[in-house]
C-alpha cells in the first residue's frame, strides 16, 4: 500500500468506531429522556434515579456535547426538589443539599462543554439558590453567582420557556430589593406563554420539554400569597390539567381548600 494512503486507511478504520460511540450516546440519551419524562409525569423518584443512571452512561460514552451533563443536572434538580420542597418540611435535607451540589457540579461541566446552552445556566442558578436557602453560610460562595447565571441564561435565550420559569422560581426566593414575587410573576407568566407555543411546535427529540405544569403551579402559589384565591385555584387547576400528579399543584390546591374551609 502506498505511503500516501496509510493515513486515509487508518482514519477509515476508526470512523465506524466513532459512529458507534455516537450511536450509543444518542440511544442512551433517548432512553434516559423517555425514563425522565415518565418520572416527571408520574413524579416518581425511582424513575428519576433510573434516568440519572442512564445519563451517566451517556456521559461515559465518549461524545462531549454537554447534553448528557445537562440532563443529569436536570435530574439532580428534581431530586433536590423532592427531598426538600414537596412536603411541608424537607424529607431528607442532607440528601437534598447533596443533590443540589452534584447538580451544580455537573451543570458546570455542561456549560464548559456547551457554553451557549441557556438552560444549563438557569438550572445552575436555581440550584445555587436552593443551596443558599438550605445552607445560609453558602451565600458567600454562591450568592453573587446566582444573579450571574440568571442574567446569562436570559441573555442567551429570552424565548426559552424553561429559562423564564427557572428565573421566576429563582426570583421567588430572592429578596424584594431584587424583584421578589412581582418580578417572579412576570417571568412565570412569560414562561406560561412560551410553554404554550412550545407545545404547538415540534422540537429536537434530544432537547427538553419539561416544566409546564410546575410553572403553572408556581403562578398559583404567587396568587395564593397575594390572597387572590380564585386566580390561584385557576392556575392549580391548569397545572393539574397538564399533569394530574404535579405535587406542587396538589399541595397548593390542598392548602387553598383548607384555607377556604377555615373562613
User: In terms of domains, do 148 and 58 share one?
Assistant: yes
Q: Does any domain span residue 68?
A: yes
User: In terms of domains, do 153 and 180 share one?
Assistant: no
What's the pLDDT score for residue 6?
A: 44
Confidence class for position 241, pLDDT limits 50, 70, 90? very high
User: In terms of domains, do 188 and 231 share one?
Assistant: yes
User: In terms of domains, do 51 and 152 share one?
Assistant: yes
Which position has the higher pLDDT, 4 or 41? 41
Q: Does any domain span residue 23?
A: no
Give me 208's grid cell: 427538553
User: In terms of domains, do 150 and 182 share one?
Assistant: no
Confidence class for position 7, pLDDT limits 50, 70, 90? very low
| pLDDT tens-digit series, residues 188-234 | 999 999 999 999 998 889 999 999 999 999 999 999 999 999 999 99
What's the pLDDT score for residue 12?
A: 44
CATH number at residue 71: 1.25.40.10
User: In terms of domains, do 153 and 183 share one?
Assistant: no
| pLDDT tens-digit series, residues 89-138 | 888 999 999 999 999 999 999 999 999 999 999 999 999 999 998 988 88
How far is 81 from 77, CA to CA, in rounded Å? 6
Q: Does any domain span residue 215?
A: yes
Q: Does any domain span residue 244?
A: yes
User: In terms of domains, do 57 and 91 share one?
Assistant: yes
Instruction: Tell me the residue range of the domain where 153 lies.
Output: 47-157
What's the pLDDT score for residue 176?
A: 62
Secondary element (H or E) of residue 90: none
What's the pLDDT score for residue 260?
A: 78
Specify the number of domains making up the chain. 2
What's the pLDDT score for residue 22?
A: 57
User: In terms of domains, do 117 and 216 share one?
Assistant: no
Contact 51, 39 (CB under 8 A): yes
Report yes or no on whether pTM surpasses 0.75.
yes
Q: Does any domain span residue 168?
A: no
What's the pLDDT score for residue 63?
A: 86
CATH number at residue 183: 1.25.40
What's the pLDDT score for residue 64?
A: 87
| pLDDT tens-digit series, residues 163-179 | 999 999 999 876 665 56
User: In terms of domains, do 82 and 119 share one?
Assistant: yes
Best mean pLDDT range from 8-22, 101-115, 160-174, 249-263: 101-115
Q: Does any domain span residue 32?
A: no
**Per-chain mean pLDDT for the chain:** 89
Alpha helices (H) in 114-179, listed in sequence order: 118-134, 139-156, 161-172
Burial (CB count within 10 angstroms: exposed 0-12, middle 13-18, buried 19+), residue 82: buried
Amino acid at each position: 500500500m502506498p505511503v500516501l494512503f496509510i493515513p486515509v486507511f487508518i482514519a477509515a478504520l476508526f470512523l465506524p468506531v466513532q459512529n458507534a460511540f455516537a450511536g450509543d450516546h444518542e440511544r442512551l440519551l433517548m432512553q434516559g429522556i423517555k425514563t425522565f419524562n415518565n418520572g416527571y409525569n408520574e413524579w416518581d423518584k425511582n424513575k428519576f434515579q433510573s434516568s440519572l443512571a442512564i445519563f451517566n452512561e451517556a456521559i461515559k460514552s465518549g461524545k462531549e456535547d454537554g447534553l448528557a451533563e445537562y440532563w443529569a443536572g436536570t435530574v439532580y434538580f428534581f431530586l433536590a426538589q423532592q427531598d426538600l420542597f414537596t412536603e411541608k418540611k424537607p424529607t431528607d435535607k442532607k440528601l437534598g443539599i447533596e443533590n443540589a451540589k452534584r447538580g451544580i457540579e455537573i451543570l458546570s461541566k455542561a456549560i464548559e462543554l456547551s457554553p451557549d446552552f441557556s438552560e444549563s445556566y438557569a438550572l445552575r442558578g436555581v440550584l445555587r439558590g436552593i443551596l443558599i436557602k438550605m445552607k445560609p453560610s453558602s451565600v458567600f460562595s454562591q450568592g453573587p453567582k446566582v444573579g450571574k447565571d440568571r442574567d446569562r441564561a436570559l441573555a442567551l435565550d429570552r424565548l426559552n420557556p424553561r429559562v423564564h420559569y427557572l428565573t421566576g422560581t429563582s426570583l421567588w426566593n430572592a429578596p424584594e430589593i431584587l424583584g421578589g414575587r412581582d418580578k417572579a410573576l412576570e417571568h412565570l407568566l412569560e414562561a406560561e406563554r412560551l410553554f404554550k407555543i412550545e407545545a404547538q411546535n415540534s422540537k429536537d427529540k434530544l432537547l427538553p420539554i419539561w416544566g409546564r405544569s410546575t410553572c403553572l403551579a408556581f403562578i398559583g402559589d404567587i396568587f395564593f400569597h397575594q390572597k387572590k384565591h380564585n386566580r390561584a385555584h385557576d392556575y392549580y387547576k391548569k397545572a393539574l390539567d397538564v399533569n394530574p400528579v404535579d405535587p406542587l399543584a396538589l399541595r397548593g390546591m390542598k392548602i387553598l381548600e383548607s384555607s377556604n374551609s377555615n373562613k
